[in-house]
């Protein structure tokens, strides 16, 4: 049995391939080999973990941006109050 690196496979998959994988895992039929289903589930888990990581990075940047905007807002408010 040849074991391929699932992380490399998932990063090389297109959206169509991912949708086919989701459909196949959801359907649950067509698996002659029990390891095939486990491999598909592992690929799916790796894909979901990668997507969660991407979303987390985006949220971190959004939070940073909002903190900067908030600090600028405080600076403008302080200038308006004490600058008069």
Residue spans per domain, the chain: 6-82
Give the rounded distance of the alpha carbon of 4 from its chain centre. Answer: 22
Buried (b) or exposed (e) across 14-52, using 16+ Cβ within 10 A? eeeeeeebeebeeeeeeeeeeeeeebbeebbebbeeeee
pLDDT at residue 1, as a whole number:
44
| Confidence check: pLDDT of 25 > 70 | yes
- Determine the Cα–Cα distance for residues 52 and 39; give it in Å rounded to an integer: 20
How do residues 39-56 score in pLDDT, each as one tens digit?
888 888 998 899 999 999
- Comparing 80 with 26, the larger pLDDT belongs to 80
Mean model confidence pLDDT for the chain: 83
| Confidence check: pLDDT of 65 > 90 | yes
Cα pseudo-dihedral 39, 41, 42, 48, rounded to 10: 150
pTM over 0.85: no
């Amino acid at each position: 049995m040849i074991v391929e690196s699932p992380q490399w496979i998932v990063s090389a998959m297109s959206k169509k391939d991912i949708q086919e994988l989701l459909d196949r895992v959801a359907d649950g039929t067509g698996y002659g080999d029990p390891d095939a289903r486990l491999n598909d589930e592992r690929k799916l888990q790796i894909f979901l973990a990668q997507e969660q990581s991407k979303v987390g990075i985006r949220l971190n940047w959004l939070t940073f941006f909002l903190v900067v905007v908030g600090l600028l807002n405080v600076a403008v408010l302080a200038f308006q109050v004490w600058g008069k």
